[in-house]
Structure 1
Amino acid sequence: MKKIAFYGKGGIGKSTTASNVSAALSLMGKKVCQIGCDPKNDSTRLLLGHICKETVLDQVRRKDPDEICKEDIVHTGFHDIICVEAGGPEPGVGCAGRGIIVALQLLDKMKAIPDMDVTLYDVLGDVVCGGFSMPIREGYAKEIYIVSSGELMSLYAANNIAKGIRRFAARGEVRLAGIIGNSRNVPGEKELLTEFCKKLNTRLVAFIPRDKIVNLAENHKQTVLSYAPESSQADVYRALAKTIWENTELSIPTPMTFDELEKLAGTYGTQD
């Protein structure tokens, strides 16, 4: 079974990419589960066709854990993809990272997730501490993909995530599986990401072009695979899913210093 996680800077398109990859893997005949680890509980929106109405933590707040049923927290989305949202605390109360720990431990205790070919954890932003590192720290995910554009702050977040992966790799099986480039149409973006990957001791597994079909699909609460299956963008996600399924090129990353990162970004024209 593949156990993977997507990390990346907030707003980089991580959940959109994750959902389209899950859809593509499912259409390849794989049994897929996507677990959203973000208090906004919107990771599985494109698979369910709506914001998940019942998260794990919603149930924990209302019931004794022993009274929670699998059906309360495990939902079925596009092409029979299993969808779970960890959820988060009430705004201004509690720690979202701690919520992820509680949610994943409860899923384990309940044996709520059936045997899958692929389990994909979609994790909040670029935070690799506390509960947000749990998919890495506790071995829930073995293969980590970082979604990044060629923008400096996105690269900065990716580099920080790589530092966390390197730390946990020293005492476990987790590895960096590659960078997924999600284009923002900045100058020299693909070339910069390719060079960034070399510095990080990994590879650019995909470069996803910017296409309005993604926004149109999202406005219809669907993945591109569902909304526009014949589009060239759908083919991009299919190719990425195939790469992820077949990928064995895992590595321990070699993060850069911020000065090195700034210099690299400046070389490709991403700074003023």
Structure 2
Amino acid sequence: MIAVYGKGGMGKSFFTTNLVSKLALLGNRVLQLGCDPKHDSCNALFGGVSLPTLGDVWRTYKAEGREDALQVEHVVFKTAIMDGAATVYGCEIGGPEVGRGCGGRGITFGFDLLEKFGLSQWALDYVVMDFLGDVVCGGFATPLSRSLAEEVIILCGNDRQSLYAANNIASAAKYFASMGGRTRLVGLVVNRDDGSGVAARFAERINLPVLASIPLDRKIREMADACKLALVDDDFNAIFDRLAQGIIDRSLPPVAMDQVQPLEYDEFLSVFGAEEPDVTPAGASSAELFGGQPDPTPVVCVVPAAEAPVLLDAPTGRVVARLLQELGLYVTEANHDPKKGMTLTIDGHTTICFGDERELDSKMAILAALQKSGESYRYVDLRRPASPLYR
């Protein structure tokens, strides 16, 4: 079993789907196991079809008092890929209903149910698990804590957020290995590589190999959004072919878990040429928090100017109108930053950096997809629609 971990939004499903497909095209029997409550890992594998999740199917059978009638074919599915060149299998574990439970516990329950169906005895060459990178949660750390995964690939970019998640994942893997776990890290895969080399510096510091670098490519992103495989592109096919061959013939660089060195915070910042200030933040007193007068310590105050009607320029006005009409998003503040361009605040708490009006349809589509996903976010950067960022 191989677990693919990484920060949300880094393209784990894209990577997992193409790796699974390439392994199958090379003659292997492969199952893709979606282990994220948003259950969209297998969408591209099945040509855009959203699979019924194990959790939803089980709840339906339970509500009808028919749990014993639940069979593996109700939750594990198969499809042909690349014009019938290979068959792959897929399953989405899913999770609890929105707002009604713990996603991590749902993952743990899903693995327990699959084991009852005989997962560990199935005649498969590979099970590739697409996992949320929140290994602080015990459920999402299941492949590490229970040694369900033999190998872990960490997907990251060159940005601080995804590498911070990668550092946490490496730390969790090293911890469980020190406790006798059998799961080992294989290395990093850099997705949407912009050529800056930051992830490579991080990999060298943490003592993990970079297994592959997948370049930033708008055409491929659009194919992924349309639930199509990137393997139809010769360059991307070659990348996944090299990686899959390395997995199959065990020729990837060996990693000794005791040599993996997750970074402390100050070490991590140094990868980006930054350092933590030697400052202890001032504590907020109870009197301040309850509305009393703060202690007489020097502070920098920003005094807001008197409110005045905000006059929007034509491009901003068009964007504001579309956000309201198409997505129901109400803009409460609009600014124009010399570097970031058009910056909008939605409902007083979410910041969206639009840049300019170029590729506006693509930017609106990204926001619509975020809305549909149900993920929470406070900041979205759409200046480069081919590689949007959100957190």
TM-score (norm 1): 0.90
- Partner in structure 1 of residue 270 of structure 2: 263
After TM superposition, give the deviation of residue 184 of structure 1 in Å: 4.5
Which residues of 2 match residues 248-259 of structure 1 at below 5 A? 249-252=254-257, 253-259=260-266
Tell me the percent identity.
Answer: 35
CA-to-aligned-CA distance 1:163-217 (integer Å, 9 cap, x gap): 10011111211111100011342x622xx32222222121001111112232232
Is residue 2:101 matched to residue 1:94?
yes
- Partner in structure 2 of residue 80 of structure 1: 87
Contact kept? 1:70, 1:112, Cα under 8 Å: no
Q: Which runs of 4+ in 1 moved over 6 A?
A: none
Match among 51, 73, 91 for residue 71 of structure 1:
73
Match among 131, 137, 140 for residue 129 of structure 1:
137
Contact kept? 1:37, 1:121, Cα under 8 Å: yes
Report the 3-state secondary structure (helix = DSSP H, G, I; strand = E; otherwise coil) of the residue aligned with 1:54: coil
CA-to-aligned-CA distance 1:40-67 (integer Å, 9 cap, x gap): 1111111111243311101121114322
CA distance in 2, matches of 1:46, 1:127: 25
- Partner in structure 2 of residue 205 of structure 1: 211
Match among 180, 183, 192 for residue 189 of structure 2:
180
Higher share of residues assigned helix: 1
CA-to-aligned-CA distance 1:111-159 (integer Å, 9 cap, x gap): 2572111111110133342110011111210111100111111111100
CA distance in 2, matches of 1:175, 1:112: 20
- The structure with the largest alpha-carbon Rg is 2
CA distance in 2, matches of 1:127, 1:48: 28
- Partner in structure 1 of residue 239 of structure 2: 236
The number of residue pairs the alignment matches comes to 259
Which has the bigger relative contact order, CA under 8 A and spacing at least 6?
1
- Partner in structure 1 of residue 352 of structure 2: none
173-182 or 249-258: bigger deviation:
249-258
Contact kept? 1:9, 1:157, Cα under 8 Å: yes
TM-score (norm 2): 0.63
- Partner in structure 1 of residue 158 of structure 2: 150
CA distance in 1, matches of 2:34, 2:61: 21
Contact kept? 2:35, 2:93, Cα under 8 Å: yes
Is residue 2:9 matched to residue 1:4?
no
- Partner in structure 2 of residue 270 of structure 1: none
CA distance in 1, matches of 2:199, 2:222: 26
Gapped regions of structure 1 (runs ≥ 5): 268-272
Report the 3-state secondary structure (helix = DSSP H, G, I; strand = E; otherwise coil) of the residue aligned with 2:273: helix
